[in-house]
């Protein structure tokens, strides 16, 4: 009996442009560019390591780097897309992680947005085998086969509750591949975390994962009361190649308005050189768009590595 394995799609059938000819065109363009890589994201000088280890009550968000955050909510310690890798392909990490693995509190939950190597690093994941993994549909069997005992697979708009925390898996516009034969064999998405007993009017944390700009941002904003929106701003250049899978900084601001968030925390920049944009370029474009729209300055929190928002 032949087993038919599912392939996953984006909301409106949008596909990633990624043929070999496009890749060659991009690589040719990249060789002709001269980029200033002197700016690096700074490390926080006053990291809250002891507070994070003892905290059971406060909601906190600590940026470790790229798409890796420690989120504390409802008494649980949650990691998103844990990556402590020193390299991504041929590229060395640009900045050290904001916290080392040994500085973390005990991790209860790991959330994966999708299977790309800069979001699902197996060596890093093995450090958290005792945690409960919540993953997109299509990844569960692969992770169980690698020895992870507690894995919950979720589809778009699924909801799970762990203790006093609700976890919602929400859409994104992206794609997946880890080998030459598994393109889009697992899904992709973002996560909304909120207390099960909501006493605050706007309490949810939205972790977008990786995404191009798409109508799903407005749908998320209509369903949830987003306080903190953790949104990607990097890996967008060249836009003709990246736009289906990665937002530009300007599109990230629009996504923030779409989800009706209160606080914008940029991510997915400054750690690995995945595309042609630089960390400084991403931040400059973000700030220019923020000012152009006359958005409040205190609603944009550009965290340093290891910095804790609470």
**What CA–CA distance (Å, rounded) separates 230 from 302?**
10
**Residue 1 above 80 pLDDT?**
no
> Does the residue 5 lie in any domain?
no
| 32 domain-assigned | no
Q: What is the pLDDT of residues 83-104, one digit of tens each?
A: 999 999 888 999 999 999 999 9
Confirm whether 197 is domain-assigned.
yes
16 lies in some domain: no
| pLDDT class of 181 with cuts at 50, 70, 90 | confident
Q: 268-309: per-residue pLDDT in tens?
A: 999 999 999 999 999 999 999 999 999 999 999 999 999 999
How far is it, in rounded angstroms, from Cα 54 to Cα 77?
11
pLDDT at 201: 64
In a domain, 41, yes or no: no
Please give the helix or strand (H or E) that residue 222 lies within, else none: helix 216-223
Specify if 66 maps to a domain. yes
Domain with 60 in it: 48-309
Closest CA to 66 of 285, 250, 232: 232
pLDDT for 14 equals 86
Into how many domains does the chain fold?
1
* pLDDT at 147 exceeding the cut of 90: yes
CATH, residue 92: 3.60.15.10
pTM summary value: 0.95
DSSP label of 288: H
Residue 2 within a domain: no
Report pLDDT for 18.
67
Q: Which residues pair with 266 in a beta bridge?
A: 231
Q: Which two tokens stand for residue 174?
A: 């992206």
11 in any annotated domain = no
When pLDDT is averaged across residues 166-175 and rounded to a whole number, the result is: 96
């Amino acid at each position: 009996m032949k087993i038919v394995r599912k392939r996953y799609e984006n909301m409106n059938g949008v596909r990633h442009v990624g043929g070999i000819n496009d890749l060659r065109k991009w690589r040719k363009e990249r060789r002709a560019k001269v980029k200033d890589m002197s700016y690096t994201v700074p490390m926080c000088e006053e990291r809250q390591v002891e507070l994070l280890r003892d905290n059971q009550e406060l909601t906190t968000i600590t940026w470790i780097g790229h798409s890796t955050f420690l989120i504390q909510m409802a008494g649980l310690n949650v990691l998103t897309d844990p990556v402590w890798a020193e390299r991504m392909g041929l590229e060395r990490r640009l900045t050290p992680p904001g916290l080392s693995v040994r500085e973390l509190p005990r991790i209860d939950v790991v959330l994966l947005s999708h299977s790309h190597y800069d979001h699902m690093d197996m060596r890093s994941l093995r450090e958290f085998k005792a945690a409960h993994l919540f993953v997109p549909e299509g990844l569960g069997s692969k992770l169980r086969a690698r020895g992870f005992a507690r894995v919950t697979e979720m589809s778009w708009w699924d909801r799970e509750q762990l203790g006093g925390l609700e976890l919602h898996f929400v859409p994104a516009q992206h794609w997946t591949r880890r080998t030459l034969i598994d393109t889009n064999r697992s899904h992709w998405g973002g996560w909304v975390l909120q207390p099960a007993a909501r006493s605050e009017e706007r309490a949810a944390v939205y972790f977008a994962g990786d995404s191009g700009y798409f109508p799903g941002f407005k749908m998320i904003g209509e369903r949830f009361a987003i306080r903190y929106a953790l949104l990607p701003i990097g890996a967008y250049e060249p836009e003709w190649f990246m736009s289906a899978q990665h937002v530009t900084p300007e599109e990230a601001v629009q996504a923030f308005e779409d989800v009706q968030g209160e606080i914008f925390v940029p991510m997915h920049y400054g750690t690995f050189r995945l595309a042609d944009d630089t960390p400084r370029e991403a931040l400059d474009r973000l700030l220019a768009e923020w000012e152009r729209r006359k958005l409040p300055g205190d609603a944009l929190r550009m965290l340093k590595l290891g910095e804790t928002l609470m």
